[in-house]
Structure 1
């Protein structure tokens, strides 16, 4: 096993190894179980009792079934009891709660570093040192924690008291066997990082002491650099440095960085041939190794992932399925073979990126599908098909003709009440309206609702007639049938720097199949933000261009247009595809030139806002229209889209389809592909709530900046937003701040300048 750890992880104190070992418990099929003792032990190990187990560190108990999710396991385990013995152990999916494969045993490890079972032992010590001379609000929170310690109940933040739990807390180093080799990469840089982390921790402690939320000289939960170096004295270690004349430097002299090809495969092939002609050996380590081998006609040189380097075949060219950070050329070393040098090529050199390895492929799953309708709760607005809009007031029991029955109670205007029998509940539905303004309640006994229904029916018939004409015309019009994929399309897909999800691949297959049919495509791609809709659109656009057609990508905002433009330019750079953008960020002269090139077939893909729908925009041979978030376009723009739909293939992408679009897709008028599978490594959004704390805000912003991220700070008043900006600039002088809001016209004196200022602020943020 190889463990890679950062300085922050190495310096952190944790549960002593001896305590960890005595806390681990094993369960196997057929074992006798003391239920109360087991549940108490799990709670003492830091597991949280819940009704449904969904996250690591939780357990539940329902009759003869126990569910537990050990933090070290990829899936939770379901323990089924027969009497007091374990009848079966099964893994289960926390999203669907469905049981999966059987296992013979399960190892339950501690769920926390500060074990709650030790809480009563340290509670008095904590009370003596922390519950004196503290502000009232701090004392209240500490008292809650003290009660949790006394009752051995886990609570959020229990690790804060780790220094009180153990006299000699351990570090990650203590968990390694004595003979384990520790490789220290650049000890000087590691020491500098360590010192910076120590300084930050001391500053935070000083600020908390000054604010009165922490007692003086509270023990810090980490080991210093000197302590860590002392623990390393008797351990076998390999130090990698940059000193002159050391082993690392001499070895580094033999390695030369390889050339970069930026996704252009022809120069890669030429480089390989040149290397082979010069007596060199080439190993291509790529996540796209099989595709690359097929493209280059060297499939016989492909090998699957290897456990050891000695398994590599001794051939001049080898494709290996794998992921490495970067490649190199090795010269001047004894290679043990009749090769002048060895060249390792990776995705970093070939494509300019390295595809991340999937961390837990077994846990890849679809998200639980959301229901379009949720249960009604009292106070919700509802619509009765015969009586109109009212307020749902809940279930009531009424006696009718001597028989008690349950009814849905609905309140109407004028305090009228309607009691709907349970068996007629299908005549009620949740009210769905535009905007946040509550609807006007109808009154029983009036004709208002019937008149509204007549007008709505006529409008629906008009829309249905128009749609019927539109889609009848689409069925009758002979569209362009695109040819099957070309080798260049295989190259484009091989250069995708992520693993496609199952839904993504399914959507791509659907779109390509539609494009190869002799009738115009009209497909809706529905998926959450970040689920990979853009890649589906990009591959469809490339297929259209390979078929000699032009592509228009229509987006609702200039910021989104800029983002799509950058993505398309980057992904299509290795191919002879001309991509342009039409938006307000282009000058009149630039727009005029782009329009001329469009008409002259000198632009293959144009990305733009509603500017693409204006009458002066003409294409030489438009074959595909891609619409991103169609619901955000106005009525006039949609009329223009309707005209275009009868002539070309249309691909619509959305995360939130409007009801009419969704209905048309579900009833088969439009084809639909859904992307419900989240991308690999996508993490859930975690929300924390609490009172404003300036130091907490500073720490959160700095932590995000240190990892190379960005921060949105949301304020609810335009009038005071500049004051907040100045406060943040004083609080975090290391950061660069910009302000964006919807009333910037007041500062810019015109709506147009306001719009541009807002757009430029957002562009500078996302660029």
Structure 2
């Protein structure tokens, strides 16, 4: 291959014409890709700042095009949206604006800035004020932590327990965490005395550090009330005037018409357009126009008088020398080949090779392009693969160069490269931290109420933390903090608060004994079901064939690690001799559909078996049909869809084709549950959104086809399904990591009023997006649609509800997808099956009337792209919101990414467990609580799998030494955080987990005090004891007292010589050495 070259190094004749022009320049006949190329070329040549003004709808494509040619991403200067409502100011945008302004004030290197008219006209603080309101620190600085805390408060940062959102900070001991508005991640600043010794970015999800930096600039987080008197703008921050590039002048004129009313009505927030024109036109200004600019008044030679934003401008006129595919192509069987052949006709027969740079190079598209280009001859064309993306192709004949966007020509659509991953993911289980007043269950003492945490001396007169529980008759139990793991949240079968047990009473013992027997029987039943499926003959799929490999290569995105893991787990299941029964759990938009399509293609192409895809709604069935059809185009796969609108001859035809094996994949709703529907060779059942189906519906096909593989898919699985997976009785694949560049959805719970509705919708429309408004009352939905037309007259509104015909709904959704309408007012029928990346605002009216899973699904309709998304849960009266509805909305307001499983569990806590594990188990769940029941069930299943007897209520260990082992409040001052770490340490299952927790504490709170080191040492001894059936280890000044458990009741007691160890490390090594010499410890329990 020839050596690589950079297109911006080409010598362009047009540059001299641009350089020699002193007045504004109008360049016509220049399409998006060519505009970005020329803009990047100007920046590299002049090495001065450039401001390129575009529309909100164009900014993402322009950003990608420019990054491809510049070799780095430009900076985006956004609008803060202050004009809509101070409540809805975009803090991400405020942070971006502040960072750019501060960087310019510091006179850093020239920048290439992409912005909009509205953002550029929005007023700013003066450069001097901006400088004074930033805090710059670096490693080695001497700064009193208390002074820095005051500085953070003065900058407007909110003090919180954890810094997990922008504008928050937290401090503990010698560590300050802060999430600057201008950053995509928070930072941890560690002090040694008054010296900064470390600055580390960290993940807000798990609070763990992810690297190190040497310096940090902290921008202000004060909220703009909209009344501050401002008089400056972005242009005041440039040391020398920048070059101004106006991207597509006609579109910018339309954009100005849309926002001119806003600009003139808020003179304290925006500069007059005439001020911008006056300042810009005194600098080098270039207007780009795709064809011919219509607002030309007079023409004289190469000079024109034009009207731009109501301003008269005299400009030079230039026609760009670019050639585009649509200009020279006739009808071609292959447009790419035709484009290159046409270009060759323009070239002399002898000369230098033609250089072709290929962009959007997805593997399959690149392979196709190479094969085509090679037919033209290697000597005449040199191919260069570029890593960037390009929205449109162009060629410069004189420079013998073409930039090709394979997205325009490839048979498989190639999508934009995603730039970065945001730190949002979840774990499968949350650490339980009780809240004062909350009902809890103690493993040995039953149902009580958590009162709080107290510090007092223990029986050895050593200061200890205790979790205080209250029982019947106000009796209190003081639980040592190292036994916090014995406490779990109580969830009954309903939301009714249970009676507290009597401390030391017999009721809890009876409940435990009955539950233990029930748990063993239920676990045996689950394992029998698993064994039955494992002994049922399963079809063993062969290794991947050509079609499966081709399908994988055609995927236009980069898979997330979680997606890849789930796909590999499914393939492994399918190629084993065991029937597949797997739950795939992942949030909306996390790529579950692609995962199930991989399984479907393998079933059809490698196994010649039919696939059944069962979905809850007609909309989702049609969406899947469209997605499957598009993704599987070119493969020998026949796909059909069956819904409530399938009837007559069409229905009969589907039934016949399916029975004959002519349908490979049948996607359907409940209509699939039909005794007259026969499959010739069913191999895979996929149940999507399984929480929407009853047990009988789901089991119908499983029972009818007992040898069928099964995939269950959900964002918020019903707890029965989830807990069967978490207990180990069912296979589980988690997709908790968002796709690259995906941003969390900002969620608001607000009162429904016209100001909020108008501001939220206008905010979305002004950035070129679309919005949903959910209103679940058909009798008043059209009235709401008319109200919105009055509030947002520029909107194009459609209304949809479930009583419309299939053709009518299909037409409405297609127009919304094609952007013919930009606000869809609909009932909850859109909660499944609508996937519109450009729709990133959703308003849910009467949100308190919906269930939690429904609300979470609706929230998942937005945020499916790399643009910030907003979800507004609207209620009639916030002050009257209480009970389960308030808890649901509060839980949803907290959740960001990957929270579907947590939402399912929160819903369980609010509503109660009911009979999700069967009526015969509901009494035991009520007696000991659902969380403890499932925790013990998991332990029982694991024990039975290992052919050992489960010890459910007798496996705790007492470790007692005269050391001060606790988490001092001077180290972690917040009681709830101390409880969280007591729970983590007590719940660790091996030494590796303990070491991880120790490092987490070191990272988040600084060096571990001696008391904490002793706490970890005793926790190591507890783990060792659990693994070897030891029930008690007690150390005094001269002896070790050990009890080892044999069976459920028998204990072996030994006393060993011992002197107290001086350090935690020696304690562990010396005690373990003594025990190993005295006891036979060959086989851990």
TM-score w.r.t. structure 1 length?
A: 0.73
CA 1:49 to 1:636, structure 2 compared with 1: closer, same or farther past 3 Å? closer
Q: CA shift at 1:12, angstroms?
A: 0.8
> 2:605 is matched with which residue?
546
> 1:225 is matched with which residue?
273
Q: CA shift at 1:272, angstroms?
A: 8.8
> 2:234 is matched with which residue?
172
CA 1:644 to 1:650, structure 2 compared with 1: closer, same or farther past 3 Å? farther
CA 1:17 to 1:419, structure 2 compared with 1: closer, same or farther past 3 Å? closer
> 1:29 is matched with which residue?
139
Question: In the TM superposition, what whole-angstrom CA distance separates every residue of 1:237-278 from its partner, at most 9, and x where no partner exists?
Answer: 221124379898733773233999xxx9x9588769977997
In 2: Cα distance, 1:259 partner to 1:350 partner: 18
- In the TM superposition, 1:360-509 aligns within 5 A as 361=420, 363-369=421-427, 371-372=429-430, 374-377=432-435, 380-381=438-439, 392=449, 394=451, 408-411=469-472, 422=479, 429-433=488-492, 438=496, 461=521, 467-509=526-568
Q: CA shift at 1:512, angstroms?
A: 1.9
Q: CA shift at 1:500, angstroms?
A: 2.0
Q: CA shift at 1:688, angstroms?
A: 3.7
Q: CA shift at 1:221, angstroms?
A: 0.5
> 2:1057 is matched with which residue?
none
> 2:773 is matched with which residue?
712
> 1:334 is matched with which residue?
398
Q: CA shift at 1:728, angstroms?
A: 4.1
Task: Report if aligned partners of 2:583, 2:711 keep a CA contact under 8 Å in 1.
Answer: yes
CA 1:34 to 1:323, structure 2 compared with 1: closer, same or farther past 3 Å? same
> 2:114 is matched with which residue?
4
In 1: Cα distance, 2:700 partner to 2:831 partner: 29
Q: CA shift at 1:535, angstroms?
A: 1.2
In 2: Cα distance, 1:66 partner to 1:395 partner: 26
Task: Report if aligned partners of 2:164, 2:204 keep a CA contact under 8 Å in 1.
Answer: yes
Q: CA shift at 1:79, angstroms?
A: 2.7
> 2:40 is matched with which residue?
none
User: Out of 591, 612, 615, which is 2:672 matched to?
Assistant: 612
In 2: Cα distance, 1:183 partner to 1:375 partner: 56
Which stretch shows the higher mean deviation, 248-257 or 480-489?
Answer: 248-257
What SS does structure 2 have at the residue aligned with 1:102? coil
Q: CA shift at 1:674, angstroms?
A: 0.8
Question: In the TM superposition, what whole-angstrom CA distance separates every residue of 1:68-113 from its partner, at most 9, and x where no partner exists?
Answer: 34444443333322333322333333333223433333334x325x
CA 1:381 to 1:608, structure 2 compared with 1: closer, same or farther past 3 Å? farther
> 2:712 is matched with which residue?
652
Question: In the TM superposition, what whole-angstrom CA distance separates every residue of 1:28-73 from its partner, at most 9, and x where no partner exists?
Answer: 3323325555444444444444443223444444333333344444
> 1:243 is matched with which residue?
292
In structure 2, list runs of 5 or more residues that go unmatched. Answer: 1-110, 294-298, 303-315, 348-352, 804-825, 837-1085
CA 1:275 to 1:618, structure 2 compared with 1: closer, same or farther past 3 Å? farther
CA 1:686 to 1:365, structure 2 compared with 1: closer, same or farther past 3 Å? closer
User: Out of 218, 234, 239, which is 2:282 matched to?
Assistant: 234
What SS does structure 1 have at the residue aligned with 2:616? coil
Q: Are 1:534 and 2:593 an aligned pair?
A: yes
> 2:385 is matched with which residue?
319
Q: CA shift at 1:550, angstroms?
A: 1.4
In 2: Cα distance, 1:400 partner to 1:29 partner: 43
CA 1:271 to 1:193, structure 2 compared with 1: closer, same or farther past 3 Å? closer
In 2: Cα distance, 1:259 partner to 1:614 partner: 55
> 2:662 is matched with which residue?
602
> 2:797 is matched with which residue?
736
CA 1:292 to 1:105, structure 2 compared with 1: closer, same or farther past 3 Å? same
Query: With CA pairs under 8 Å and 6+ residues apart, which has the higher RCO, 1 or 2?
Result: 2
Task: Report if aligned partners of 1:183, 1:238 keep a CA contact under 8 Å in 2.
Answer: yes
Task: Report if aligned partners of 2:764, 2:770 keep a CA contact under 8 Å in 1.
Answer: yes
In 1: Cα distance, 2:430 partner to 2:187 partner: 31
Question: In the TM superposition, what whole-angstrom CA distance separates every residue of 1:583-602 from its partner, at most 9, and x where no partner exists?
Answer: 11211432221111111222
Q: CA shift at 1:197, angstroms?
A: 1.3
> 1:115 is matched with which residue?
none
What SS does structure 2 have at the residue aligned with 1:174? helix
Q: CA shift at 1:185, angstroms?
A: 2.0
What SS does structure 2 have at the residue aligned with 1:321? coil
Task: Report if aligned partners of 2:468, 2:477 keep a CA contact under 8 Å in 1.
Answer: yes
> 2:325 is matched with which residue?
256
Task: Report if aligned partners of 2:802, 2:829 keep a CA contact under 8 Å in 1.
Answer: no
> 2:227 is matched with which residue?
161
Count, aligned residues: 661
Question: In the TM superposition, what whole-angstrom CA distance separates every residue of 1:552-574 from its partner, at most 9, and x where no partner exists?
Answer: 11122333222222221222234
- In the TM superposition, 1:50-449 aligns within 5 A as 50-108=160-218, 110-112=219-221, 154=222, 156-158=223-225, 160-163=226-229, 166=230, 168-169=231-232, 171-178=233-240, 180-202=242-264, 219-241=267-289, 242-243=291-292, 250-251=319-320, 254-257=323-326, 283=356, 285-293=358-366, 315-328=381-394, 330=395, 333-336=397-400, 342=402, 344-350=404-410, 353=413, 355-359=415-419, 361=420, 363-369=421-427, 371-372=429-430, 374-377=432-435, 380-381=438-439, 392=449, 394=451, 408-411=469-472, 422=479, 429-433=488-492, 438=496
> 1:559 is matched with which residue?
619
Task: Report if aligned partners of 2:185, 2:423 keep a CA contact under 8 Å in 1.
Answer: no
What SS does structure 2 have at the residue aligned with 1:534? helix
Task: Report if aligned partners of 1:527, 1:533 keep a CA contact under 8 Å in 2.
Answer: yes
CA 1:667 to 1:177, structure 2 compared with 1: closer, same or farther past 3 Å? same
Question: In the TM superposition, what whole-angstrom CA distance separates every residue of 1:659-711 from its partner, at most 9, and x where no partner exists?
Answer: 44334323433222111111223222323455554234223223334433122
Task: Report if aligned partners of 1:552, 1:624 keep a CA contact under 8 Å in 2.
Answer: yes
Cα-Cα RMSD = 4.6
Task: Report if aligned partners of 1:408, 1:425 keep a CA contact under 8 Å in 2.
Answer: no
What SS does structure 1 have at the residue aligned with 2:764? helix
TM-score w.r.t. structure 2 length?
A: 0.53
Q: CA shift at 1:293, angstroms?
A: 4.4
CA 1:679 to 1:766, structure 2 compared with 1: closer, same or farther past 3 Å? closer
Q: Are 1:621 and 2:681 an aligned pair?
A: yes
In 2: Cα distance, 1:565 partner to 1:728 partner: 32
> 2:922 is matched with which residue?
none
Q: CA shift at 1:373, angstroms?
A: 6.2
CA 1:730 to 1:277, structure 2 compared with 1: closer, same or farther past 3 Å? closer
Task: Report if aligned partners of 2:436, 2:450 keep a CA contact under 8 Å in 1.
Answer: yes
What SS does structure 2 have at the residue aligned with 1:687? strand
Task: Report if aligned partners of 2:586, 2:592 keep a CA contact under 8 Å in 1.
Answer: yes
What SS does structure 2 have at the residue aligned with 1:710? strand
CA 1:475 to 1:335, structure 2 compared with 1: closer, same or farther past 3 Å? same
Q: Are 1:664 and 2:728 an aligned pair?
A: no
Which stretch shows the higher mean deviation, 468-477 or 4-13?
Answer: 468-477
What SS does structure 2 have at the residue aligned with 1:625? strand
CA 1:349 to 1:32, structure 2 compared with 1: closer, same or farther past 3 Å? same
In 1: Cα distance, 2:254 partner to 2:369 partner: 47
In 1: Cα distance, 2:702 partner to 2:514 partner: 26
